[in-house]
A and B are shown apart, each in its own frame.
Chain A
């Protein structure tokens, strides 16, 4: 039945359309499964081998060939577009919460629209528009937030009333709706045909396509891809692209050196019906009803409707299983709730006759974002997979970014949120993936409020203090598998409420975090920051210093014991990482960077450090527990515990020293706090962690010490205008653009990565500027809170987006950080952003469609904060992403 069905979804005329393809005789089409000799043998070598003939593989091939690369072979184990792509519902939807995903979808839509003209292959492209329904006010807020970001991208989109919904789609029951979002340019395609069209174009550009060719594994030598073994022989290649969809994980693990691609398949069901008595128009908009967990599109006069149920059925956990594949059957009992939601939304369809319930597995990832990029362990091994059932929407854009990545070494957008290197081996456990995707799939429809956390796959990496902190009321969030404290619930508070609060407004931990912040300002707090990535680089001679001087923009040739904040920049001067580096000795350095940099930073350094056995890079993240003592009394606590003077004369800011704390010796103390507040971070060998923590808490009692969490830290750093990598900073942001020129030593006497680009910026100015906004007419109690990604308007014109925000308990105002651009009013061309441009504008921040006045600042309110420091000592660094 499934096979017959393929035809229905994609009426392909492909024999006539692409006679050039290396494929079997035409009689092979259809149901025959007997193997015949392949007419064309595989080439012995190619520059790029792409595995997977779905929409991802063909899109990568298409874009690579467009960029001028011709020596490309695409291998498909079965038939082109026969996997998830073939079964996909074909909805191209641009309403995506993550900016880069939105851009990918927007590009895909534009690409598909002209694809038929370009290739002559019918793609079934139909601009129907889509309507996302809101059954609750909270849902409407989340739609309004998306609408705001679509509008500033120039994508038409409006929030409409239920009545308007009825005008656009006469079958909808609107009684339980509070509003909806209409995106008129969203489209429908036959995804299989889009894939075939892309393949056709690629093939015309010289890409060789071989069907029925199975990749058994990829050979890797000295950390580089050297070739591909298939059931039809070996192909030598420089680049391999894993677009194997739900088999990408297995393919990644098939070689001697595994490439971890964390994704897991779940069954996905949708329903097809016969046409209505009066067949539905093919231009009728697609309906997305997230509160009912369903989508509904018109299909051949009837409807196609599927959804994301609360109780997904993961499959292939134990790997590929032919039996399971054949047994992928309709499961009506499982589909029941979704059918109920469909009939509630369109009661008029009761009498409509069922054609089929399609079961089509989709692959999901641990954080609901797709996976692209180069393997951290094998150069030339690229991946594009894990589409979380948005493959058609992302296909075009994702293929383009990956092709750019392969050809240029980097894509044209910040794709860090999608980068394979955001994951490590720790997300590769099958059990973890199985549990996590069961949470992720329902999340596709769940309301996503600020600061939500995954509940599954938790407590994997923990600090040795975990139990102690938990017993004291810690509430946890997770980053890169590491449990971190959000805040501490004081004894007696209603815990249940706190854990279940989901709101776009003022959260109920507001006062709790407020008191933690107050304690940081007035006394001293302890925050466990053990999750940060910690590397040690040492050498027998000067290799360590020389290499680091090249890889980092600040001058690291400082006296032993000094701590330097510095960017790890790429050729364009953009931040690949933002670090604090302590010089432990002449020849060794200790490097602190954000938690999720563990894989990326390691790979970046490994790929660029000279291959010298006398230069050692070691990941010591697991060896140290980090306690951050923040506040004016931190100095008192520490000096009492160490019998050493800790005052600024003896222990200046940005200093690092090994000393004893309590009975424990060899504690690495650094006078930084990542917040701009006075204090220290203690790097404690883990076996001393509990001892030192107890000593600190006991001694600290008389100074009013208490535990604090990351929310307090975040509020402190944002009101001090500290940018965090991953949140505010990315590979497309330079130090010049965020007021950190003082961390760049252009004249340090040797060449470093990004130097040229920074010189140019220094001379010509920057095209965006990191700016701090203080919301003026925003009522903390009553108004929607900013989060991140809110559009910024200057004199009524869009100039950029916020990257993070927090309530400042000191200013008693909301603070948003974000980038201001200067678009030419007529051409839209980007112009240089000057200080005057920033200072002379009237600003507004758009929160879910409502604009709030904001005051722009380029420098923090130093006068408000008590501690005075030399300007070059001001600590401008931090590592956290929310």
Chain B
């Protein structure tokens, strides 16, 4: 049993989304041309989330991927809320005041974000009031704190990450009279999510990362070839600096138990994350909240379970590492992706595949026989291989889809193998997670002309 190529395509393209920055007077003055995004589930339902929005009260565009674990509640909440926290953190004092006054007097609010969403990217209606109130509290505090200084993007990103995680934690502790909401905030807090967020404003690119999703810059060298530059550090056991950080933050006695089998306390893969209050709250607090919580929570073995060797919480933080990069004309695109992609593909291959996709196939140098000795058979073999490469490019109108096709379907020769692709995509739900992870990808394409003019 095989899926036909068109069935494969309909699966791969189900979640694809593209956004082009609109042009004015035939010109796009933004440093971003647009972006392609897509996700392919392995879990059912998928635990990855993605977000993209343009800041309306400040300049810049926000893009992020979120990899949820222990359910999708936390990733969902972060995908809905984080950009508002960032946007608010970036707002100047006067704008904050204006917004607050508008809310106070019941006037229409200035729009803060313009979302670029796929129809499948939903927002929870029930929690919007609750979320809004938390956000409002945040900006009220920002107004009170008015430092008079201009907002630094790095600071803003860090503050927003930390503040949102804090709000998630607080909302779970306080609870909500509405039982649905009460259960929701608890699920959000007890599940977890990593976040990798990029903020692009002119040539200033900031990447804030918490966890093991990754941001990668695609750079075109002078000879036309492609190379990859990492714009984030994975927060996991492979990152020595992270292991060191953990050891610094906890007593020496815990040195051995902190990281076991490459996992935090032997349990958690990412070393930084939103939610996951089981790695943040004290044992007492956890017990109190679970006991007073709804039955569903009480009956859940996972929530009741306390991690072993749990002595000096918190073990986990949502604080991001922020990398600032000044965009250059050779920086052609940025890939944000959850670890589902990076597990299967090397970043160098990602850079090449996306680069060749975006620049079209012209990049395959035409073949010239010239003075070489080539036989008909050799030429035929070469052409067949080239055609396979090209045809896989032509099938996709979306760079993220194209990457997923390679990530799932690549054979040992680095070319997409339809048979393999078909097999991987027709795995039954319960098996899919064994062979692959959720994959979420955003490919942002930069406008070299604008960047060059800075």
B366 touches A (CB below 8 Å): yes
B369 pairs with A356, CB closer than 8 A: yes
Q: Digitize B376-396: 1 where CB-to-A-CB distance is under 8 Å, 0 elsewhere.
A: 110110011011001000000
A333 touches B (CB below 8 Å): yes
Q: Determine chain A's interface SS by DSSP, over half rule.
A: mixed
Which residue of the partner chain B has the closest CB to A340? B380
A571 touches B (CB below 8 Å): no
Knowing A330-B368, A357-B369 are in contact, say whether A336-B383 is a contact too (CB < 8 A).
yes
Among B366, B376, B383, B384, the residue within 8 A (CB) of A329 is B366
Which residue of the partner chain B has the closest CB to A357? B369
Contacts of A329 in B (CB 8 A): 366, 368
A354 pairs with B380, CB closer than 8 A: no
Contacts of B379 in A (CB 8 A): 332, 339, 354
Distance of A880 Cα from B379 Cα, bound (Å) = 51
A331 touches B (CB below 8 Å): yes
Contacts of A339 in B (CB 8 A): 376, 379-380, 383
Knowing A329-B366, A330-B369, A333-B367 are in contact, say whether A343-B377 is a contact too (CB < 8 A).
yes
Among A332, A342, A353, the residue within 8 A (CB) of B366 is A332
Contacts of B384 in A (CB 8 A): 336, 340
A831 touches B (CB below 8 Å): no
B387 pairs with A354, CB closer than 8 A: no
A351 touches B (CB below 8 Å): yes
B388 to chain A, nearest CB (A): 11
Among B373, B375, B377, B383, the residue within 8 A (CB) of A332 is B383
B165 to chain A, nearest CB (A): 53
A273 touches B (CB below 8 Å): yes
B387 pairs with A352, CB closer than 8 A: no
Which residue of the partner chain A has the closest CB to B377? A350
A351 pairs with B368, CB closer than 8 A: no
B369 pairs with A354, CB closer than 8 A: yes
A349 touches B (CB below 8 Å): yes
Among A331, A333, A349, A353, the residue within 8 A (CB) of B374 is A353
Contacts of A357 in B (CB 8 A): 369
A350 to chain B, nearest CB (A): 3
Distance of A215 Cα from B364 Cα, bound (Å) = 41
Contacts of A352 in B (CB 8 A): 375-376
B368 pairs with A354, CB closer than 8 A: no
A349 pairs with B366, CB closer than 8 A: no
B377 pairs with A354, CB closer than 8 A: no
Which residue of the partner chain B has the closest CB to A352? B376
Contacts of B369 in A (CB 8 A): 330, 332, 354, 356-357
A131 to chain B, nearest CB (A): 21
Which residue of the partner chain A has the closest CB to B364? A333
Residue of A329, A351, A353 with most chain B CB atoms under a 10 A cut-off = A353
Knowing A336-B383, A339-B383 are in contact, say whether A354-B376 is a contact too (CB < 8 A).
yes
Distance of A343 Cα from B366 Cα, bound (Å) = 21
Contacts of B367 in A (CB 8 A): 330, 332-333
A347 to chain B, nearest CB (A): 9
B373 pairs with A353, CB closer than 8 A: yes
Contacts of A353 in B (CB 8 A): 373-376
Distance of A188 Cα from B364 Cα, bound (Å) = 37
Which residue of the partner chain A has the closest CB to B368? A330
Contacts of A356 in B (CB 8 A): 369
Knowing A354-B369, A356-B369, A357-B369 are in contact, say whether A333-B386 is a contact too (CB < 8 A).
yes
Distance of A349 Cα from B374 Cα, bound (Å) = 12
Residue of A330, A336, A340 with most chain B CB atoms under a 10 A cut-off = A336
Contacts of B390 in A (CB 8 A): 333
Distance of A350 Cα from B375 Cα, bound (Å) = 6
Distance of A335 Cα from B369 Cα, bound (Å) = 13
Report the contact-size class of chain A (Cβ under 8 Å from the partner).
20 to 34
B375 pairs with A354, CB closer than 8 A: yes
B245 to chain A, nearest CB (A): 52
Which residue of the partner chain A has the closest CB to B373? A353
B87 to chain A, nearest CB (A): 48
Contacts of B375 in A (CB 8 A): 350-354
B361 to chain A, nearest CB (A): 9
Distance of A326 Cα from B387 Cα, bound (Å) = 26
B387 to chain A, nearest CB (A): 6
B429 to chain A, nearest CB (A): 36
A306 to chain B, nearest CB (A): 14
Distance of A273 Cα from B375 Cα, bound (Å) = 9
Distance of A333 Cα from B386 Cα, bound (Å) = 8
Query: Would you list which residues of chain A between 315 and 357 have a CB under 8 Å from chain B?
Result: 329-333, 335-336, 339-340, 342-343, 349-354, 356-357
Knowing A330-B368, A332-B366 are in contact, say whether A343-B387 is a contact too (CB < 8 A).
no
Distance of A342 Cα from B380 Cα, bound (Å) = 10
A350 pairs with B386, CB closer than 8 A: no
Distance of A271 Cα from B364 Cα, bound (Å) = 21
Contacts of B380 in A (CB 8 A): 336, 339-340, 343, 350
Q: Digitize A508-523: 1 where CB-to-B-CB distance is under 8 Å, 0 elsewhere.
A: 0000000000000000
Distance of A349 Cα from B375 Cα, bound (Å) = 8
Distance of A357 Cα from B368 Cα, bound (Å) = 9
Which residue of the partner chain B has the closest CB to A346? B376
Distance of A136 Cα from B376 Cα, bound (Å) = 26
Which residue of the partner chain A has the closest CB to B370? A1
A351 to chain B, nearest CB (A): 5
B383 pairs with A333, CB closer than 8 A: yes
Distance of A351 Cα from B378 Cα, bound (Å) = 8
Distance of A351 Cα from B386 Cα, bound (Å) = 20
Which residue of the partner chain A has the closest CB to B390? A333
Q: Digitize A493-510: 1 where CB-to-B-CB distance is under 8 Å, 0 elsewhere.
A: 000000000000000000
Contacts of B373 in A (CB 8 A): 353
B90 to chain A, nearest CB (A): 49
Distance of A354 Cα from B374 Cα, bound (Å) = 6
Distance of A271 Cα from B384 Cα, bound (Å) = 17
Which residue of the partner chain A has the closest CB to B367? A332
Distance of A340 Cα from B387 Cα, bound (Å) = 12
Knowing A343-B376, A352-B376, A353-B374 are in contact, say whether A331-B387 is a contact too (CB < 8 A).
no
B156 to chain A, nearest CB (A): 50
Which residue of the partner chain B has the closest CB to A305? B376
Which residue of the partner chain B has the closest CB to A342? B376
B36 to chain A, nearest CB (A): 26
Contacts of A273 in B (CB 8 A): 376
Contacts of B374 in A (CB 8 A): 353-354
Residue of A273, A333, A339, A352 with most chain B CB atoms under a 10 A cut-off = A333
Distance of A340 Cα from B369 Cα, bound (Å) = 17
B387 pairs with A333, CB closer than 8 A: yes
Distance of A750 Cα from B374 Cα, bound (Å) = 77
Q: Digitize A351-378: 1 where CB-to-B-CB distance is under 8 Å, 0 elsewhere.
A: 1111011000000000000000000000
A351 pairs with B366, CB closer than 8 A: no
A393 to chain B, nearest CB (A): 27
Which residue of the partner chain B has the closest CB to A331? B366
Contacts of A271 in B (CB 8 A): 376
Which residue of the partner chain A has the closest CB to B386? A333
B200 to chain A, nearest CB (A): 36
Residue of B364, B375, B376 with most chain A CB atoms under a 10 A cut-off = B376
B377 pairs with A351, CB closer than 8 A: yes
Distance of A343 Cα from B383 Cα, bound (Å) = 13
B386 to chain A, nearest CB (A): 6
Which residue of the partner chain A has the closest CB to B381? A350
Distance of A343 Cα from B377 Cα, bound (Å) = 8
Contacts of A336 in B (CB 8 A): 380, 383-384, 386-387
A733 to chain B, nearest CB (A): 52
Distance of A273 Cα from B373 Cα, bound (Å) = 11
A356 to chain B, nearest CB (A): 7
Which residue of the partner chain B has the closest CB to A349? B376
List 3 A-B pairs, minimum CB-CB distance, nearest first.
Answer: A350-B377, A336-B383, A332-B367
* 13 A–B contacts from the bound complex (CB under 8 Å): A330-B366, A330-B367, A330-B368, A332-B366, A333-B383, A336-B380, A336-B383, A339-B380, A351-B377, A354-B374, A354-B375, A354-B379, A357-B369
Assuming A335-B383, A353-B375, what are 6 further A-B pairs, CB within 8 angstroms? Answer: A330-B369, A332-B379, A333-B366, A333-B367, A339-B383, A350-B380
